[in-house]
Structure 1
Amino acid sequence: MSKVKIAAVADLHVKEDRSVSYTELFSEISRVADVLVIAGDLTDLGKPAEAELLVSDLKSCTIPVVAVLGNHDHQCNAVEEISSILVKAGVHLLDGQTVEIAGVEFAGTKGFIGGFGRHMLGAFGEAAIKTMVSESVDEAMRLENALRTAKTPRALVVLHYAPIAETVAGEPKEIYPFLGSSRLAETIDRFEVSAVVHGHAHKGVYEGQTPGGAPVFNVATHVEKPTGRPYAILEL
């Protein structure tokens, strides 16, 4: 079975003022990869107009596009409209689902906060804390439900929030609980997964692995990658 080249990037933060265009980048990616993955924060403030600008730039992308939303995409409470714009443009937008492309199963969800390892937040105390933990558990369950439907052992997990602390290293330790959750890694390690990509931690590091050994890559545009470009290339 031939390998599939996947270009993965996150945190594009497309702004309404069109201060940055990704047309040339998407054209470049189309020449070097078979699939483009965008791991959240496609827009800067979650405005439909920003999603429209992204879709305009994506016209230069001639390969399939898989994406999940990030926290910035939720800012203006227009998730349904943003999602509709992206899906109508042909983006495979994942929220607890999978899509198979070229023999690779892409399983995706946004993920959520909660912290890592023995510092992970528990559902104890005020109702607000319990609600927060419940949301984190729900996102992990969305991912689990997606992975249960995977039909091929070649699986790429697409998240926005980090599943491990290793790839957020470089961010202030005080904000680690807001960058991801070990619940995601616990879910991933119950399945056969080829790799995991995420964003969100702009000052994090590129590579790490789950406790079970699944490779994890922080593909935020701000993170230095082996390609020397804003995107990483993974071969599965």
Structure 2
Amino acid sequence: MSRDPSSKIRLAAVGDLHCREDQHGRFRHLVKQVNATADLLVLCGDLTDRGLLEEGKVLAEDLSALRVPCAAVLGNHDYEHGQVKEICSELAKVGVHILDGDHFIFEKVLGVAGVKGFGGGYGNATLQAFGEPQTKAFVQEAVTESLKLEAALSHLDTPRKVIIMHYAPIPETLEGENIEIRPFLGTSRLAMPIDHYGAEAVFHGHAHHGALRGQTKSGIPVYNVAMPLLARHTPDQRYVLLEV
């Protein structure tokens, strides 16, 4: 039976779990809380701490107790040891849908578009593809991630949609981070497809010392759901719960 298109969906969002191989059971309480309060869980990257398969297995062990669907994107830490394929395989075994420029549809009502994202700066200070090939390659990565997000959103025709990523699409949720590193924490290139296609909300991680919330130029709310940040603000509930 399909969900009533007008009914609210309780969405739980968190990123930067940084699961380590010696942390068996660390996320059991989180999973128990999500099961009790949410219809859907989204994870916003840095699922593992060093991108090791064993870390992915430990996280999958805890997530196996989830009773709600789960969609996720990867973060920079998940790429550290070149074991992304193996980590994704372990998480898929417990029903986690890893998104990388594609989407997940929840009960024909809510579409979740997901992409890792990349850095590059914001507004007039966005890095441009000029000069050394290394600089051009860096910029191209940000452009590619933006195009992947655009492709994911263009294929969504659900009544509602949300977007998950690891890097920040706006600078406002980076307030609190050292100014020097903010261009490496995200880029406004990611905000372009968001504002073009629209969404109920955007969730990202990566900025452990940033701000909890901001909005795009068109007014779409953006939530920084990095777990270390949430742990300081809402220690009893280390995820954002939003009705969409």
Output the TM-score relative to the length of structure 2: 0.94
Aligned letter for 1:46? G
Percent sequence identity over aligned pairs: 47
Aligned length in residues: 236
Q: Is the 8 A contact 1:153 1:192 kept in 2?
A: no
The one of 141, 147, 159 equivalent to 1:135 is: 141
Q: Please say if residues 153 and 193 of structure 1, whose CA atoms lie closer than 8 Å, have aligned partners that are also in contact.
A: no
**SS of 1:193's equivalent?**
coil
Q: Does 1:27 align with 2:32?
A: yes
Q: Judge conservation of contact 2:24–2:58 (CA < 8 Å) in 1.
A: no
Separation of aligned partners in 1, 2:202 and 2:96? 19
CA RMSD of aligned residues (A): 1.3
Matches within 5 A, 1:155-166: 155-166=161-172
**Match of residue 190, structure 1, among 186, 196, 199:** 196
The one-letter amino acid of 2:215's match is Q
Partners of 1:14 and 1:20 within 8 A in 2: no
1:150-204 alpha-carbon deviations (Å, 9 max, x no partner): 0114111000000000001100000011100100001111112110000000000
Aligned counterparts of 2:227 and 2:60: Cα–Cα separation in 1: 18
Match of 2:237 among 225, 229, 233: 229
CA distance in 1, matches of 2:142, 2:94: 29
Structure 1 residue 2 corresponds to structure 2 residue 2: no
Which of residues 118, 128, 133 in structure 2 aligns to 1:122?
A: 128
Which aligned runs of 4 or more in structure 1 are off by greater than 2 angstroms? 224-228
- 2:25–2:62: 8 Å Cα contact kept in structure 1? no
Any unmatched runs of 5+ in structure 1? Answer: none
Distance of 1:173 and 1:41 partners within structure 2:
22
Q: Given residue 156 of structure 2, which amino acid in structure 1 is its aligned partner?
A: A
The counterpart of 1:76, out of the listed 66, 75, 81, is 81
Asked if structure 2 preserves the Cα contact closer than 8 Å seen for 1:27 and 1:62, the reply is: no
Aligned to 1:67: 72
Match of 1:97 in 2: 102
Q: 104-113 or 148-157: which moved more?
A: 148-157
Does the 8 Å CA contact 2:60/2:91 hold for their aligned counterparts? yes
Q: CA deviation at 1:228?
A: 5.2
What TM-score does the superposition give when structure 1 sets the normalisation length? Answer: 0.97
Unaligned runs of 5+ in 2: 1-5
